[in-house]
């Protein structure tokens, strides 16, 4: 008879051999597509720095100055434009020597993404009031753009006019505020991925579930969320990519409920790890990324 532990390790190794890690997809629980803004032009002669200019999908959008690479600040305008050169869907926003600040604090996020079309000049990106990154293009952003926030920038496609490329910025983690600025920058489809909220309603405990850890990717610590539909013996373990057991987080009898467990990976090297939840005969395994 095969040892169940060895069988699990073999399964994990086979999974690692067949799948290369990719960042989790940011879902569009809330979307700003700039199609329903109250007017077409914002900024100089219309608004003061710090003014609320519109709200969409329960997200308040403010306007402010841009920080240039020479250390000075500028304030010009943002204008709603039609999609062009294959960029955007219907309406997009042109950011010209100004910044937009998105207030996302009304709900907890798992991540935010937006697509962009850059025709040159300086760009800014700032998350949660952290470092205000002043760069020539978003591909220069570091992966750790703010504490506990991971940044990944994709090339979506060359634009149809062959001026530049269309890119996508992905930000992973709890994001309360996001500042985007540019000199010749077009932005569209700002997606907000709202985090799973663990309900205290006992009628929600209908299915055993292991949720994706949060945040993911993570730098030091992360949280595992799981639901027990029927009381039983619960085992929650972490494994490295070679199937070696790293830590036992839960090993006890638990009643039906929603649970959260913190995991401190500060002593571990960066890379792909797995965590497995077993509740009697129920088993589920998920993957996570520790970033250094």
Q: What is the pLDDT of residues 149-184, one digit of tens each?
A: 888 888 877 767 777 778 899 998 889 999 999 999
Instruction: From 60, 170, 29, select the one nearest 112 (Cα to Cα).
Output: 170
- pLDDT tens digits along 262-281: 999 989 998 889 999 999 98
Instruction: From 175, 169, 155, 92, select the one nearest 123 (Cα to Cα).
Output: 169
Share of the chain above pLDDT 90, in %: 45
| C-alpha–C-alpha distance, residues 73 and 14, integer Å | 53
Mean pLDDT of the chain: 84
Question: Which H/E stretch holds residue 182?
Answer: strand 177-182
- pLDDT tens digits along 196-205: 444 444 344 5
| C-alpha–C-alpha distance, residues 43 and 37, integer Å | 14
- Using pLDDT thresholds of 50, 70 and 90, give the confidence band for residue 126: very high
- pLDDT tens digits along 231-261: 999 999 999 988 889 999 999 999 988 888 9
C-alpha 101 chain-centroid distance = 17
Q: Which of 78-82, 122-126, 287-291 has the lowest mean pLDDT?
A: 287-291
Hey, where are the domains in the chain? 30-194, 197-290
Angle at the Cα of 141 from the Cα atoms of 138 and 47, rounded to 5 degrees = 60
- Using pLDDT thresholds of 50, 70 and 90, give the confidence band for residue 10: low
For the domain made up of 30-194, give the CATH fold. Jelly Rolls (2.60.120)
- Using pLDDT thresholds of 50, 70 and 90, give the confidence band for residue 195: low
8 Å CB contact between 261 and 221: no
| C-alpha–C-alpha distance, residues 227 and 187, integer Å | 38
61 against 216, higher pLDDT = 61
8 Å CB contact between 273 and 290: yes
3-class DSSP state of 131: coil
8 Å CB contact between 183 and 66: yes
Share of the chain above pLDDT 70, in %: 86
**Domains 30-194 and 197-290 alike in fold:** no
57 against 207, higher pLDDT = 57
Could you tell me which CATH class the domain 197-290 is placed in?
mainly beta
Q: How would you classify the pairing of strands 271-279 and 232-240?
A: antiparallel
Residue 266, number of CB atoms within 10 A of its CB: 8
Place of tokens 């100089």: 44
Instruction: From 26, 202, 204, 46, select the one nearest 115 (Cα to Cα).
Output: 26
Mean pLDDT across 29-52: 92
8 Å CB contact between 96 and 184: yes
Question: Is 0.85 surpassed by the pTM of this model?
Answer: no
């Amino acid at each position: 008879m095969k040892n169940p532990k060895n069988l699990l390790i073999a399964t994990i190794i086979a999974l690692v051999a067949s799948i290369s890690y990719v960042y989790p997809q940011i879902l569009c629980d809330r979307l700003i597509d700039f199609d329903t803004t109250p007017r077409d032009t914002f900024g100089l002669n219309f608004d003061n720095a710090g003014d609320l200019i519109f709200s969409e999908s329960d997200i308040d959008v403010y306007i402010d100055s841009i920080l240039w690479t020479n250390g000075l600040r500028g304030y010009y305008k943002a204008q709603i434009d039609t999609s062009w050169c294959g960029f955007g869907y219907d309406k997009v926003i042109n950011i010209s020597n100004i910044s937009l600040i998105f207030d996302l604090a009304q709900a907890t996020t798992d991540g935010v993404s937006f697509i962009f079309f850059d025709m040159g000049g300086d760009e800014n990106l700032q998350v949660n009031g952290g470092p205000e990154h002043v760069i020539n293009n978003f591909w220069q952003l570091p992966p750790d753009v703010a504490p506990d926030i991971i940044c990944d920038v994709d090339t979506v496609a060359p634009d149809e006019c062959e001026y530049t490329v269309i890119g996508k910025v992905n930000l992973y983690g709890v994001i309360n505020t996001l500042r985007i600025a540019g000199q010749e920058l077009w932005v569209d489809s700002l997606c907000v991925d709202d985090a799973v909220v663990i309900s205290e309603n006992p009628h929600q405990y209908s299915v055993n579930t292991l949720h994706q850890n949060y945040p993911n990717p993570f730098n030091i610590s992360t949280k595992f969320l799981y639901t027990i539909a029927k009381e039983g013996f619960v085992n929650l373990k972490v494994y490295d990519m070679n199937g070696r057991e790293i830590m036992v987080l839960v090993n006890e009898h638990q009643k039906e409920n929603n649970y959260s467990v913190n995991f401190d990976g500060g002593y571990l090297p960066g890379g792909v790890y797995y965590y497995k939840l077993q509740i009697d005969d129920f088993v589920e395994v998920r993957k996570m990324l520790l970033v250094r």
